[in-house]
Every structure is written in C-alpha cells, then in structure tokens.
Structure 1
C-alpha cells in the first residue's frame, strides 16, 4: 500500500498556479486576440509591477514577434489564460501588436458611423 507521501501531488511541468489564480479570477481578456495575432515586447518598460506569470510571458515575447498560440504553447498555459495575460501586458504598453487583431467588430458604433458617412457621401 502506498502512502500519500510517496505519490506526487503535482505533475512535473504543471503550471505553478491554477489558471483561475493566474488570471485573478477573470475569464475574458480586455482585447480581442485571434490565435494568429502577433505580439512582441515593446522597447519601454511596463508601467506597473508584473506578476511572475506576466514576466514570463513578456520574456517569451522579447525574442521577436510571436503568435498568441505560440506563446500559449511555449508557456504551457491554456490559450484563454494566455490571452488574458497578453491583454494585460498590452494594456500596460509592455507589448505591441504587430498584426491586426482580427476582423473588425460589426457592432462597433464607430465603425457603423464611418460606414453611414461613407454611404451618405455616395
């Protein structure tokens, strides 16, 4: 019979914290990021102190443009968690987008207003 002391409680290579703890309980990023969106570290320092997970994410993006999917794979985190971490870093100006974040939101009032102005000018 094995005791609890003989069995590992955490798998090797598993994240240090549960995704819920890494994201502070948030379930949605502040920005729309597609899997193929490219991000890279900005040349400026972040404006706020970083958590270890944010710091690791930023270090991964310093090597050059990386896609959201690539960052998630290299960090070994779920894509949803990675998108939240990347959004946080984008909000603090520690990262920059190097490609469009996807198609425009068709319900964006600014976009709809520009379409309306364009139609009126026809």
Structure 2
C-alpha cells in the first residue's frame, strides 16, 4: 500500500521516501558544467515562465522558474525545493545555459576586517 505524497514533489512516497534519486534528476551529472553558483547568489527568471523552444523541462526546472519570478538566493531555492544543494546547482546550470535565468553573484570583498575589530565583536558578544 502506497503512502500519501508529501511535500512539493509528486514522486515522494511517505513509506518509501524519494523514488527518484538525485543523480536521476541531474541526468547522472555530479557537477555543473559552468562555474559553481555561490550560496548567496540571486537567481531571477529571465522571462515570465516562457519556456517555448527550449525542449522539455523537468518538473524541478519548472518549479525553479516559478520560484525565481522574484529574486531568490541559491540557498533558499535548495530549501524550497527540498533538494540537495549540489542537485540545485546542476539544475540552475541547465537553466542558465538555456538563458532562462539570470544570476547575480554577491560582490567579492576586497579587504577583510582588521583582527582588532573581529576581537571586539567577539568580546561584545561574550558580554551579552
């Protein structure tokens, strides 16, 4: 007897757990083809869910496009999709290669805070 479907995925079974394994969702890939996406990078759907001419998208791709109608971080997408971060990065790479999403990386910090500032913050936190 099958359990009730749980979560946002129709392929989840409450008794057996996920029926489709992550490597199946990614087509057996374990790394994105392009550069890895930062956890804090923001993803935005490039067009209002217009996917004509891009072939058949998986349900996970469509869900990412739906969630990315407003800017959303890679970490939040992974949490909302209830998928491993590595899987989400590969799916994002697919969408980015198809030009269905835009990616905004956080700016890299050119300088690091001075050690005295960090020590003062730690001491202040300990005083709380």
Please, what TM-score do these two structures have when normalized by structure 2? 0.64
Secondary structure of the residue aligned to 1:83 is: helix
**Residue number among 10, 19, 40 corresponding to 2:13 in the alignment:** 10
- Asked if residue 79 in structure 1 is aligned to residue 82 in structure 2, the reply is no
Corresponding residue number in structure 2 for 1:66: 72
- Conservation of the 8 A alpha-carbon contact between 2:2 and 2:13: no
2: CA distance, partners of 1:76 / 1:87:
18
Are the equivalent residues in 1 in contact too, given 2:40–2:106 (CA < 8 A)?
A: no
Alpha-carbon distance change, 27 to 92 in structure 1, aligned in 2, over 3 angstroms: same
CA distance in 2, matches of 1:29, 1:101: 21
Q: Does the 8 Å contact 1:15/1:76 carry over to 2?
A: no
Alignment RMSD (CA, Å): 2.8
The TM-score, its normalising length taken from structure 1, stands at 0.67
- Between the two proteins, the alignment pairs up a number of residues equal to 97
Change beyond 3 A, Cα 1:82–1:7: closer
Counterpart selection for 1:28 from 20, 26, 31: 31
* Aligned match of 1:117: none
Separation in 2, partners of 1:57, 1:97: 13
Aligned residue in 1 for 2:113: none
Distance change (3 Å), C-alpha of 1:102 and 1:61 = farther
Unaligned 5+ runs, structure 2: 5-11, 110-128
